[in-house]
Every structure is written in C-alpha cells, then in structure tokens.
Structure 1
C-alpha cells in the first residue's frame, strides 16, 4: 500500500467512525427513553450534543495541528473520542449521556478536518476525484447501515453496546495512525492562539446550532430568535476581528478561492436543502399520503442506487469535463426530483421512486463534484484551514436545511383549510426546489467545461 493510500485509509476510517456515531443511535431512542426516562427534547439532544461538540471545536483543529503536529492531534482526538464513548456506554442518566456525547463531538471535530487535510494534501489535484469517490461511498454506506446495526444492538443486547462498540474502532484507527502516518513536526514559529477569535467562533457556532435546532421544531420559531441574534452578532464580530488580526483562527480570506466558495454554496443549497426535503417528505408521505415508515424508508434505496451512479460518473468525468457541466446537470436533476415529489405524480409509487432517484443522482453529482473541486486551488500550507471551513459548513448545512424547511412547514400547516394539508407540504417542496437553484449564477462563472480541472476564470 502506498504512503498516500495509508493516509487516506486512516482518514476514511475516522470519517466512517464519525458518521456512524451520528446515525447509529437513532434506532435506539425508544430504549434510551425507557431506561433513562428521557423526554423527547432530551432525545433530540443525543444527536445535537454530538454535533455541537463536533462543530465548535473544528476552528481549533488547524492551529493545534500546526502547534502539535497532525499525527499527534489525530491520535489525541481518537483517545478523547474513545474515552467519551466509554463514558457514554456507562452513563447513569440522560444528563450524563448528553455530556459524554458533547465530549465525543469534541474528539470527532478534531479528527475529521485534520485527517481530510492530510489526505487531500497527499493526492495530486488530478487524482483527488478518485479519493472523493471513495469518501462519498463511505458517506453513503455508513449512514445507511449504521441505524440498522444500532437497532439490532438495542433489540438484542443493550443500547450501551452502541457506544461501547466505538472503542475497538477508535483503537484500530489510533493504531493505524501511529503506524502509518508520518510523525510530522510542530511549526518552528507559530503565532499565538487567537483567543478572541476562538471565543467569538465558539459563541457564534453554538448559538447558531441551538437556534437552528429550535427553529426546526414545532412552536419553537419564536424561541430561536434570541440565539440566532446572538449568533449573528458574534459572527459579525468575528468577521471584523479576522480582518484585523495578524493570524486569525480561521482566515476567511480563503473564501476568495472561487472553487472553495462554490463548493460551500453548493453544500448549503443541495445536500443541505435535501436534509430539509427529507424531513418534509417523511411527514408528507406518512401523514398526508398514508405510507408506512417502512415504505418511506425504502425510498432511500433508489436514492442510494442513483447516488452510486453519480459518484462513478464524477470519478471518471470530472478530470475530463470539469466542474461546470456536472454542477449544472446535478442541480437540474435534483430540482426536477424535488418538483416531481410536489406534484400529484408522487401519489403513485413509480412517481415517488423516480423522484427519489432523481434527487439522489442530482445531489450526489453536485456533492461529489464540489468535494473534488473545492481544494484544487488551495495551497498545501493552507489545506488545514480550508478543511476547517469546509467541515464547519458541512455540519451547518444539514441543520440549516432542516431549520428553513421545518420552519416553513410549521408556518404553513396551521394556515391551510381543512382537508388541504398536502398543499403545505407541496409548497415547502417547491420552496426547496427554488433554494436548490440559487448556486446557478456562481456555476455559470466557472471556467469552460473542458478547461483543465475546471479551474475558474480570473475575476
């Protein structure tokens, strides 16, 4: 195995652990509720606490990697994650479990951006589409399989084994990191930690996640105003601080790279919006059309099959065609699938299957292309900071999509006349289709389709 393959393998294992930890506990919520006497709101924070820890620590990852060396940060994050997994497995109360989930997120938040920076730095730009295809395969398979595994453990053993089972995975990743990753060295001259920037970024991200969580819940829109206002003020303060600071924690100047900026916008408007579409569709199909949970869940099968096809196309087509035609095609097909779901055709099984297949193909075409293109123009020395920006946006995208479409649905449903509830769902889906089209002006400014590696025109 080549050195670059070893680096990629460690990153992919860490990425799989992170994804599994996000989704594996979903099927165990009833068991958690019974044993720990948890409320529905507390159960929601089993996932949210992990995501909160994951997101707020990401800005610190690049600085720590320069300060301590990338391998040390990866090993330390895995040890912290393993410790928190053990704590979650023996948690005596829902409060203790939420605390350990937060610590798990702190470990995972250091693991992913540092590992991603190492992996993409190890591959030449023209070879990154191949790496991205493997990353996207992991991103598809793990969320699809982990809830089923969690359900089996909860039914036949205990929900505690869900978290205990993370220990051998973290141990294996730690051992491979020590054996395969270059030792690396700390930077000889490193600016001091940007403490004001860290405080502002943590406050902004924590308040934003908390506000988005409230906004997506029924009756929680008015409660979200205060934390979202705090997030806006703190975020604005960080932007002003970063412009003046000699060495900001995250240099927002990286957003001047057109392909990185394009990838971030795509993630917000395509996979991010789809997270909200998935929520609205589940409620629409079960509440308005009378499908069972099993029938609704089965629609992710054509979605996944079409996604695999899209990933294979990007792997072969991106080096030859560039980003622009892939983005245009992906956005068009994804938007068509969302619109199809909003029409009466969705009342028929064939129409629903076609809609989900189109959404899977279009969204994965965009996501794989954006992941392949985003780091093309980023200098190797800045890869850590670019990865931090990418991963913060990736986490927030899914929350924003759910919050926007969940809030729209909560607003529209009470205003529908009796017997016209499906109209509210369809209106939300049409809103989602419009949001998916927002990146088109930026896509149109990319270089011609067959330019090498889809590099953007000078601006």
Structure 2
C-alpha cells in the first residue's frame, strides 16, 4: 500500500469516527428515553399518555426530516449541514434536560428530532462519497455499529442513568459528546461546498415528510395498542401510504424530486433496497421481542435484560469488518444470503424458547444471530451504493434511510401485535407492560409467557424468509454484472463508467 493510499485510509477513518460520534447520539435517543417515561410522568406531574409524546414527538420529527437530507447536502454541503444538525441536537438536548414541564419537553424533543434526523443520513452521504464504490462495504460496516447496537444498549444505558442519576442526565450526557463531535468535525470533515440555487421540491417535501411521519406514527400506535384499535391506528397508516404513493407519482415527473425514484429502475439498486427494507422489518422487530422476553417471561430488570443482549452485539462486532471486506470483493448478494440463512435458523431456535431455557444456550444463539445480522444488513446497503454514481449518493441515501425506518416501524408493529395476540390467546390479556414483574416468575406462568414469545418469533421467521427473495435477485444481478465486466474487460454501463471515473479521481 502506498503512503498516499495509507494517508487516504487514515483520513477516511477519521471521517468515520466523527460520523459515528453523531450517529451514536441521535440513534440512542430513539430508545434510551423509553425507560424514563414513568419518572418523567412523576416528576413533571403529567399522565403517561401525555408523557409518551416525549418519545413519539422525537420519532416523528426524525421521520419527517429524513426526506430533506439529500437536497440539504447538495444545496449547502454535507459538512455544513452535519455541523448545524449536531449543534441543534446538542443545544436542544441541554434545553430538554432543563425543561420545567411536559409541554416544554415535548416541543424541545421535536426540535431535537429535527437535528437528530439529519445527522445519520448526512454522515452516510459524506462517508460514502469519500470512500468511493470500491470501499463502500467496509464503510457501511463501520456506520452500522451505532445503528444496530442502539436498540440493544439504549434501554440498558437509560436504565442505569435513571437509576443512579436522574432522567435529566439522559439529555445532559449528549452535551459534551456533541461539543466533541463539532470540534472534531471542524478539524476533520472534508470541506464540501453546496451547489447552491437548487430549488427545493416543496410539494415533494410535504408529501414525503408528512407521509413518512404519519406512517411511522400509525405503525407505532398499532404496536402500542396491540392491533388496529380505532382510527388512531389505521387512519395515520392510510394517510401515510396515500401521501407516499402521491409522492412517487409526483417524483416520476419532477426533474429534481427529493428522492430520485428512477434509481429503482436499476435491478441492483431495487433488489438491494428491497432486501434492506425487509431485513429492517425482521431485525428491528426482533430487537423489540428479545429484551421483553427477558423482562416479561424471565422476570429480569431492564439493566439485566440489556446485559443479556451483549452476545448479540459482540456477534455483530465480529462479523461486520469481515462482511464489509467480503462485500467489496465479491458484492453484497452472497454475504446477505448467508446472513439471512443464519437469521432464519436462529429465529427458529428462539421460536422454541421456554420459561427456563438456559442463558448459556441463549447467549450462544444470540452471538451466532449477531454474526447473521452483521452479514445480512450492511452488505445489502453497500450493494445499493455500489451501483451509484457519486452524484446519485445524496438522494439515494435519503431513499434508503426512509425505507429502513419504515421497514423497522412495520416490523416492530407486526411483531408487537403478534406478541399481544399470543398473550391474549394464552390468557394474559392486557398490554405487554402489565406482564413484566421483576423477580422470580412461577414456572407455569413463565412457560406460558415464553410460549407467547415463541409464537411471535415464528412471525419473525416468516418475515426473514421473505427477505430471501430480493437477496437472491441481488446475488443474480451481481453475478451477471461480474460476468459482463469479465467479458467486456471493464465497466459496461454509464453508471459503472461514471463510478470508475470517480474511483480514478480519488
């Protein structure tokens, strides 16, 4: 490796480190707050139904702002937008920690979500453009760490903070991290001038932002209530889907739409995107079930439940570097299929859990499951980026983030509803939270509760099996592309020629 190449790698790793700092803050805040809702209700003297909007408001702002990230990066430059987003997130975090009533806290959490929703996609855009298509697999494996580990460790970290400090420190801890992130960004992130003068697609912004937020809200309410209980659940879903369909129709005939839907005409990008969407549903839905199983069926507290999920995080950490390097070498299709196969097998094992299943066995299964996640999710995203020219990256990143967030919301809602119905069928009526005693659970009750979780994990198996279809298509498309390149001696499409030119310039 030449010194220039080594320097370039060091520069890339420095950018990756800065991006991860921001991503950890924004993604953790989607889950860390959930364990503090009871404390917020008591300290702010507000009903839990109102306090729930502290979490919901952040989630909706996050979903609504993502469609704007591609345009903002092109208009103002990625570095500038990322720093502004982190500053907004850090400032509102400090104000959230100092909030005096629930109304202030909800309003500030919405503003915090605006900043938080920009941080991760803008970071992906900058990192992907700097890495180039030949190293995008390894880059995606780096970016995946906070995205996939946050749902596991967020509740645990939140529980520790609430138990030993107060709910206000859930927000205050973001302040020094944000300051460090901005200081590093000013020094490390590459200067990127926006094109300027790029007209915002206002109609597309309204349709996509409101549509994504409404869909995510409806799905969250469906999961919370265990089904389609009244208009509060199904109406937002209908409105969200309608607006998204209208956006797609609008984007097809708009030259500068927020999301370039023409990218989905490319078999490689569309199959990789579909795989990312379905895997997001399967994995993020399962990540809801696992800590609940330890709490509800086994009587563990939130902190212990989080610690029991560490083996899955370790499996991801081991798998991601290897899966990234393998993806850069042979494409994302084969690693994704291998990861999906592992996820199916481990989901089948989890579908058979009992009330006294050995924690050693569960730890081993979760470690292997983490390996599967590491080989499934990021290669599919990297495969999507590998088909793009550098100019397509910002708006493609927007599309992938919207798909992943909606897929995760759908999977979470489906598996939460499946769990609630399974509990009802076994005589444990009411919400999931009513069946989470901390302490020893009687064996008969534990077996009944564990059986309900097994039923829900069976649905996780079904969702994961569905992801095999686009993953196979992705592998076939990549194989044909490799054969065409081998036969022609080089890039064979305009996109590949543009990608090759970009690589040569790096």
Q: Could you tell me which residue of structure 2 aligns to residue 207 of structure 1?
A: 214
Q: Could you tell me which residue of structure 2 aligns to residue 437 of structure 1?
A: 465
Q: Deviations over 1:364-410 (max 9, x none)?
A: 21012123322101110111101111222222222211101112233
Q: How does 1:379-390 map to 2 (within 5 A)?
A: 379-390=389-400
Distance in structure 1 (CA, Å) of the matches to 2:414 and 2:227? 12
Matched, 1:394 2:422: no
Distance in structure 2 (CA, Å) of the matches to 1:261 and 1:450? 12
Residue 244 (structure 1) shift:
2.0
Shift in alpha-carbon separation, 1:124–1:353, aligned structure 2, 3 A: same
Matched, 1:180 2:157: no
Matched, 1:335 2:363: no
Residue 288 (structure 1) shift:
4.3
Does the Cα contact within 8 Å between 1:322 and 1:453 map onto a contact in 2?
Answer: no
Q: How does 1:47-66 map to 2 (within 5 A)?
A: 47-66=55-74
Shift in alpha-carbon separation, 1:240–1:42, aligned structure 2, 3 A: same
Between stretches 441-450 and 305-314, larger displacement belongs to 441-450
TM-score (norm 1): 0.89
Distance in structure 2 (CA, Å) of the matches to 1:202 and 1:12? 25
Distance in structure 1 (CA, Å) of the matches to 2:310 and 2:173? 26
Q: How does 1:317-332 map to 2 (within 5 A)?
A: 317-332=326-341
Instruction: Give the unaligned 5+ runs of structure 1.
Output: none
Does the Cα contact within 8 Å between 1:63 and 1:193 map onto a contact in 2?
Answer: yes
Q: How does 1:180-259 map to 2 (within 5 A)?
A: 180-187=188-195, 190=198, 192-218=199-225, 221-223=228-230, 224-259=233-268
Q: Could you tell me which residue of structure 1 aligns to residue 311 of structure 2?
A: 302
Shift in alpha-carbon separation, 1:278–1:249, aligned structure 2, 3 A: closer
Distance in structure 1 (CA, Å) of the matches to 2:52 and 2:382? 33
Does the Cα contact within 8 Å between 1:257 and 1:378 map onto a contact in 2?
Answer: no
Residue 336 (structure 1) shift:
1.0
Instruction: Give the unaligned 5+ runs of structure 2.
Output: 1-6, 429-444, 486-491, 494-506
Distance in structure 2 (CA, Å) of the matches to 1:390 and 1:400? 15
How many equivalent pairs are there? 458
Q: How does 1:15-164 map to 2 (within 5 A)?
A: 15-139=23-147, 147-164=155-172
Does the Cα contact within 8 Å between 1:336 and 1:358 map onto a contact in 2?
Answer: no
Does the Cα contact within 8 Å between 2:38 and 2:48 map onto a contact in 1?
Answer: no
Residue 111 (structure 1) shift:
2.2
Residue 13 (structure 1) shift:
1.9
Residue 159 (structure 1) shift:
2.2
Between stretches 153-162 and 60-69, larger displacement belongs to 153-162
Shift in alpha-carbon separation, 1:449–1:66, aligned structure 2, 3 A: closer
SS in structure 2 at match of 1:193: coil
Equivalent residue for 1:427, pick from 455, 459, 464? 455
Does the Cα contact within 8 Å between 1:22 and 1:50 map onto a contact in 2?
Answer: yes
Q: Deviations over 1:130-159 (max 9, x none)?
A: 222322334455555554544444344432
Distance in structure 2 (CA, Å) of the matches to 1:292 and 1:342? 22
Q: C-alpha root-mean-square deviation of aligned residues, in Å?
A: 3.0
Residue 212 (structure 1) shift:
0.6
Residue 242 (structure 1) shift:
1.1
Residue 128 (structure 1) shift:
2.2
SS in structure 1 at match of 2:421: helix
Between stretches 180-189 and 13-22, larger displacement belongs to 180-189
TM-score (norm 2): 0.81
Shift in alpha-carbon separation, 1:337–1:140, aligned structure 2, 3 A: same
Q: Could you tell me which residue of structure 1 aligns to residue 413 of structure 2?
A: 403
